[in-house]
Structure 1
């Protein structure tokens, strides 16, 4: 027996419980009977109103308004679609695909696709490091100076004009680095680590028997060159490096990241010597127009860098190898080279060049 039926019976019997004749057994007069009938009618009216109210409440609980549509919702806790909902599923999806608390997706979601987060288009840093170490192991540095014929050619060219950045044809480097403007501009074409070295190392182009050979002990030997950024497509991410490396050196490594190399990197201002972490050294230098210099004192093995003509301090000491001037980059950029053809911004290096001799002196 539901609540509505119970309420109906209570209201139907209410007038009789209010009639004293049911309690005392006395017979009422006609006026008393009329009063009883009045109460009885009032009870019926109350019952009728109650039924109407109950009916409306039930109807309200069984219907929910969605937008401008009235959709019946089952009182069962089972989350299923009604026929009206399924019938309008496709049209509702085109209007909104946001889930709501009384609906479920039309069909179960597709199964998850397992994604290998280690998948990549290129080798990992660990693999690059391993490959570079193997390269150095298989190709140890060659501490050979230029031949007598090459030295004669350097002297003929006047020293400074003999040094150039070069790249072998059909090599990894040749696909990423372009040398233009008679060797004065180096353009990196891809977002890949790559370096380029000079044809000759830092060395003094003299031979036995030269009159100046004995005088070298009393003069300053300074090997130096400068680069200037003339284009940098992504200054916040492109990493440019200047430094020194031995030969052969892996073409896919920036100077400083591999054994027998040093480098000063633009993106973070750190110096590197056979590591991928680096050590804080100077300011970063990513903007177009900045000039960075790299110097080497072969007497004590000190390597230093400059920025816009300002000495940044010795980066490394007691490093003695047959060093080749090297620049590298990861990112699209263009670098201008100055081996001493133009006046250096670093005043203490003016007159010097990669040969280590000062052209302005009587050496």
Structure 2
């Protein structure tokens, strides 16, 4: 509309210029011409009009260039950054009318979720970097949103995602984002099981966090996904045309989908079964997706099982193996944990559940001190030593003279209460006790 107005203005200026140049510059008198003061004024007017027309023409060209640049920038913004962000409300309502009532409610709920919980765009803290350095690739883990039902998603070995939901959407993200210390990062997801491919929509991609846990990736800002029906979605919840919906091959059980991210340019590319996929039909790879925190995300609306490889195993895409595009090292700086096998293969330093036969007897203190134990036969190491097994009368450490004096006093006190027969019997027994036998003399 602006260009026709400019053309009409230029036409009017050219007519005025033509009329001005047709005015006589000198007044005719008789056979000749004489100078007239009006001629100079006419010349000035003509020159002024000419200069103004040239300046207006340049201004019109400049306005056209700026208008084309603005329209081109708007087109790029719609296609490669935030599709639909510049559309008016009437166009959004028109596109929503093509969706089912359930999809409309999910779209509005997702938009409200993003407004209430904007993406976290802070860089990784020092403690997070130290955690990655310590644990390596084991630092990444898929964690379901606490608002999801308990039976919706199960996680095995941190990266094996099992969807058990029926006929409702849900998604899951990793606990840590892409570290962005290297130029390129890449991960692969293998479809381990897909029970009902015709009625299951599986989406694998990248997104910011938090993302609506009740929506598939690629539907809201800021997310991109490769859907199992072969479409590529980028911040688009509406129906796709035939060209956009058949960009990639449809996914089947056993396929391995790879997603790479170039940190400097913000470019995202996809692979399938070790081969990079072309996106020329829809304008090429997504570029300019520069956010501080970007997370791998997987979503589904029906049961399926996905095994994710962030770098803990070898990639199907050979280039990723050669250039080492994994998220982190396979092993961090932390030493490995010990293996907890059965106790038969372990060396127990101390145990409170030992058998009686395994108890080690203490050393024989009597033999070490030069005394003979009164227990009798020498006990083996497997015999029990208790309080009842100790000698009844432990040896004294007093002199022999003092012992004889105490024995004499004891005998004297006992003799005072004995009769004549008892005294003779007592003395006879004392004599026998002090007599030395031949065996004792030989010893």
User: Which of the five TM-score ranges fits, normalised by the shorter chain?
Assistant: 0.5 to 0.7
Could you report, residue by residue, the CA deviation over 1:101-146 in whole angstroms, capped at 9, with x for unpaired residues?
Answer: xxxxxxxxxxxxxxxxxxxxx9611111011011111111110233
Which residue of structure 1 aligns with residue 163 of structure 2?
188
**1:1-363 equivalent positions in 2, closer than 5 A:** 124-158=102-136, 160-169=137-146, 171-172=147-148, 174-180=150-156, 182-190=157-165, 191-204=167-180, 221-267=183-229, 269-276=230-237, 277-278=239-240, 279-280=244-245, 281-285=247-251, 287-313=252-278, 315-321=285-291, 322-350=293-321, 351-354=324-327
Q: Which runs of 5+ in 1 are unaligned?
A: 1-121, 206-219
Q: Which runs of 5+ in 2 are unaligned?
A: 1-99, 279-283, 332-443
Q: What's the secondary structure of 1:317's corresponding residue?
A: coil
- Separation (CA, whole Å) in 2 of partners of 1:263 and 1:315: 12
- Separation (CA, whole Å) in 2 of partners of 1:175 and 1:130: 25
- Separation (CA, whole Å) in 2 of partners of 1:123 and 1:336: 33
Q: CA deviation at 1:168?
A: 4.1
Q: CA deviation at 1:330?
A: 1.1
- 8 Å CA contact 1:224, 1:296 repeated in 2: yes
- Separation (CA, whole Å) in 1 of partners of 2:172 and 2:149: 7
Q: CA deviation at 1:183?
A: 1.4
- Separation (CA, whole Å) in 2 of partners of 1:304 and 1:168: 27
Q: Which runs of 4+ in 1 moved over 6 A?
A: none
Q: What's the secondary structure of 1:229's corresponding residue?
A: strand
Query: Greater strand share, 1 or 2?
Result: 1
Identify if the C-alpha distance between structure 1 residues 133 and 264 changes in structure 2 by more than 3 Å, giving closer, same or farther: same
Q: What's the secondary structure of 1:124's corresponding residue?
A: helix
Identify if the C-alpha distance between structure 1 residues 173 and 315 changes in structure 2 by more than 3 Å, giving closer, same or farther: farther
Over the residues paired in the alignment, what is the CA RMSD in angstroms? 2.1
Query: Greater helix share, 1 or 2?
Result: 2
Please give the TM-score of this superposition, normalised by the length of structure 1: 0.57
> Which structure has the higher relative contact order (CA within 8 Å, separation 6+)?
1
Q: What's the secondary structure of 2:171's corresponding residue?
A: strand
Could you report, residue by residue, the CA deviation over 1:16-48 in whole angstroms, capped at 9, with x for unpaired residues?
Answer: xxxxxxxxxxxxxxxxxxxxxxxxxxxxxxxxx
- Separation (CA, whole Å) in 1 of partners of 2:164 and 2:307: 15
Aligned residues: 218
Could you report, residue by residue, the CA deviation over 1:74-118 in whole angstroms, capped at 9, with x for unpaired residues?
Answer: xxxxxxxxxxxxxxxxxxxxxxxxxxxxxxxxxxxxxxxxxxxxx
Larger Rg: 2
